[in-house]
Structure 1
Amino acid sequence: MLETPSFVAYNHQYNLVLKQLKKLCVGTQAAFVIQCNITLFCLAVYPIWESNKPLPLEFEHFNSGMFHYPFYMFEVIGAYICAYTNICLDLLSVGFIMISATQLRKLNIKLIDMKENVKSLPDYSEENSEKLTLDYLKECCIHYSDIEEFSKCIQDCFSIISFIQMVTGCVSVCNALMLLTSLSPTSPEAIFLFCYTISMLAELGLYCWFGNFVYHESLEIVTSCYFSSWYECSPRVRRSLFILMERNKRPIEVKGLSLITLSLDTFISILKWTYSYYALLRNYKAKHHLYNSEM
């Protein structure tokens, strides 16, 4: 589907815009990978700094003895494999989401540059300008339909994955914050948990930010139609623009399991819910500790 004519058309003309979006996507994903590597490094080395933490993941039968170091390496390598599998899945998902956002950005620019692009056609003349403009708008409508279909394919493939990542990310952040409250801020384990919390929030933010990019660019279709010099066009062209604007009243969204819309509003809601859940667990822990001390 990435090789459809509407997706590859005008790539040379808008190459600079596509390169800027690619640079933004690659830079964001690189920062996420670096943060995850810092977290994995902290997981691997913090037991060395603390004598009472012999292994990255507790397993008392191998805390000492001849199998201690082989099992230590096994846990570290296993953690890296699991983490990188998760990272690759995240980057694959948001990469496809970014393709959808990039195509929407290109469509917006095509609509704004409608007059100039039609005039640049080799067979353009004043007599057939209306026909060429209508054909151009037809291509834009086909482009929008292809983007809708592509976004639907993304949702069919990755909606369950993104939903699971969002839910598990929220729970992981809550648990990490609970553990952080019981540790010294300067302890190696606290540093690891802090990095882990940042990584999980970055993962949630990655999905929501790229999903919000799609939603925002979809909403911009109406604005782009308005800035397309419609007042200089014939009534037939205006009607075509109006139909495209009406069609876009239901913008393209990327959802997790058709329940959670990936957007910045959702990310803020997740942060609020996570903090509320964390505060509830902290109060419960404090009351439980007080009850045990009174007993």
Structure 2
Amino acid sequence: MSAKTRTTTGNAVTVIGLGPMGRALAAAFLKAGVATTVWNRTPGRDRELAAAGAVAATSPEEAVAANELIVVCVVDYDATDAILRRPEVTAALKGRTVVNLSADVPARAREAGEWAAEHGVRYLDGAIMVPTTVVGTPDGVFLYSGPAELYAEHKPVLDALDGGHTHLGEDIGRAAAFDIALLDIWWTSMTGYMHALAIARAEGISGRELAPFAQGIGKILPPSFDEAAIALDDGTHTAVINPMTSSASTMAHIIHASEAHGIDASIMRAVEGVTRRAIGLGHGDDDISRVAELLGRRA
């Protein structure tokens, strides 16, 4: 059946964008018994999904017209705009709901929400906080922001993706803001770990030897996350274990050991720099949580 011959309501969805994550989303919908229409700019990526029961649309306007709910998952909002803002697609979208799971910054999400409102498109922004292999399992994590009633209306279909689904509020940009903040944790943490592996190797320690002890460090982080969050929210930065003067000293040791082996220490130098700036402002006896407050100040 051609997608253009039907407009389905209820347990149905259109997925636009069939990169690795888009294919994972469509496959999860199909597995859950949701009637699924798919479209991708690059031909051929829909073959396996079509074989599994998806309807392969031949154009984005045909894909949009097929269902009331359209889930978009492409590389960024430039790609989203290039698809959805084509006049024929925009016209087909009127009165329908777009859930944009593409990644970008909060300002772009809010601008997209404004565009949607101007063109009669119902709009939710969202973020997927797990890799493709976890989509469609109980461990999936999906975040949404936008009109609460719109989220409630489409929640039964979105829940077919399994995992946890959280509506973060009416502000369209909140899902993207959570996404950016959480990815910041991931990438800075993993970069720190890569640096640690480089130091360990230079000292004759294999990655396999270090990994179990690294996991032990990882177990310390969750309570530290809670403590720092409370300290920042409440404006109390009393050092419970290490004041920043002590922290800066250990950072200097890492820098010295790194550079002795010719290892780039610019990341730790940046961390030490902002820590010493906080100390210079009279916060040497405070907890490292004070740095978050300092980073948030505008000159």
- TM-score bin, normalised by smaller chain: under 0.3
Q: Which has the higher contact order (CA 8 A, sep 6+)?
A: 1
TM-score (norm 2): 0.20
Question: 1 or 2, which has the higher helix percentage?
Answer: 1
Question: 1 or 2, which has the higher strand percentage?
Answer: 2
TM-score (norm 1): 0.20
* Larger Rg over CA atoms: 1
